[in-house]
């Protein structure tokens, strides 16, 4: 290819800032997990969200540069998937399932309770940037319906009362990290199946808490 890729700026870049060396190193390790660089676009987009709290134009430009495609091509991919949030998104993203099994067991009431308690309707974020609310399709927890996720960490067997408590807890306690076991204990009920052991890992923003570079280069480099 040789020549520089055409950089199509979709909107004026907001950040212009480049990623930290640490993030660039992570990006390099992610790309090494795929036979072709472009395949790393999706995990790199999550990395971009972790950098800026949502997917910014600057983030997409950085991803484009890393994998050697244009920002427009990156936008084409990002806009296909619902989890790459390009709009302002709260520190806590509350996703309530209103798909069939949750609907049958009171999921609509749980969703409404979350909307009313937070004052945030579907698809929006509060003024402060603390809470975003959405109703979502099935999140694979139908045996413990109704189900809710905060930053994709799951709570099963939620009631409207517990849902309101969850919102107040987020608003008042402002936990630094979101842990599925902790939330399940306080706000959950029946589960699809026994989760076996408690888990340490926690989410820190409105994107999935998963680091895909544990095995780069084989043993020992994992985090």
Min dist CB 142 to ligand FES, Å, is 3
Torsion of CA 202, 122, 145, 196, to 10 degrees: 0
Min dist CB 67 to other proteins, Å, is 7
Size of the site for other proteins (CB under 8 A): 66
Q: Give the x-and-dash track for 46-65 against other proteins (CB under 8 A).
A: x-------------------
Beta strands in 41-168 (DSSP E): 92-97, 124-125, 131-136, 147-150, 153-156
For position 99 contacting other proteins by CB under 8 A, the verdict is yes
| Nearer Cβ to other proteins (15/211) | 211
218 binds, among ligand FES, other proteins, none (CB under 5 to 8 A by kind): other proteins
Among 64, 139, 178, 209, binds ligand FES (CB under 6 A): 139
For the segment 58-77, give every residue that binds ligand FES (CB under 6 A).
none
Strand partners, 178: 203
| Nearer Cβ to ligand FES (45/142) | 142
Dist. CA 150–CA 130, nearest whole Å: 12
Dist. CA 20–CA 64, nearest whole Å: 16
Stretch that binds other proteins, among 5-13, 15-23, 161-169, 187-195 (CB under 8 A): 187-195
Other Cβ atoms within 10 Å of 54 Cβ, number: 21
For position 141 contacting ligand FES by CB under 6 A, the verdict is yes
Min dist CB 135 to ligand FES, Å, is 10
Among 75, 78, 110, 147, binds ligand FES (CB under 6 A): 147
Dist. CA 150–CA 218, nearest whole Å: 32
Buried b (16+ CB within 10 A) or exposed e, 84-117: bbbeebbbbbbbbbbbebbeebebbbbbebbbeb
Min dist CB 184 to other proteins, Å, is 11
Dist. CA 125–CA 178, nearest whole Å: 18
For the segment 98-127, give every residue that binds ligand FES (CB under 6 A).
99-102
> 169 near 179, Cβ under 8 Å?
no
For position 211 contacting ligand FES by CB under 6 A, the verdict is no
Residues that bind ligand FES (CB under 6 A): 97, 99-102, 138-142, 145, 147
């Amino acid at each position: 290819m040789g020549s520089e890729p055409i950089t199509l700026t979709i909107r004026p870049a907001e950040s212009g800032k480049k990623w930290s060396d640490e993030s660039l190193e992570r990006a390099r390790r992610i790309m090494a997990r795929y036979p072709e660089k472009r395949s790393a676009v999706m995990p790199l987009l999550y990395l971009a969200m972790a950098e800026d709290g949502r997917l910014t134009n600057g983030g997409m430009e950085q991803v484009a540069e890393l994998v050697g495609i244009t920002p427009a091509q990156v936008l084409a991919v990002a806009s296909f998937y619902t989890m790459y949030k390009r709009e302002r998104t709260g520190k806590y993203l509350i996703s309530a399932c209103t798909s069939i099994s949750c609907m049958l067991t009171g999921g609509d009431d749980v969703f409404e309770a979350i909307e009313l308690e937070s004052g945030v309707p579907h698809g929006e974020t509060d003024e402060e940037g603390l809470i975003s609310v959405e109703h979502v399709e099935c999140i694979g927890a139908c045996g413990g319906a109704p189900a809710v996720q905060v930053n994709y960490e799951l709570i099963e067997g939620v009631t409207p009362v517990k849902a309101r408590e969850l919102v107040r807890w987020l608003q008042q306690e402002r936990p630094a990290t979101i842990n599925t076991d902790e939330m399940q204990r306080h706000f959950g009920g029946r589960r699809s199946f026994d989760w076996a052991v408690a888990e340490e890992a926690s989410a820190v923003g409105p994107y999935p808490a998963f680091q895909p570079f544990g095995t780069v280069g084989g043993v020992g480099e994992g985090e």
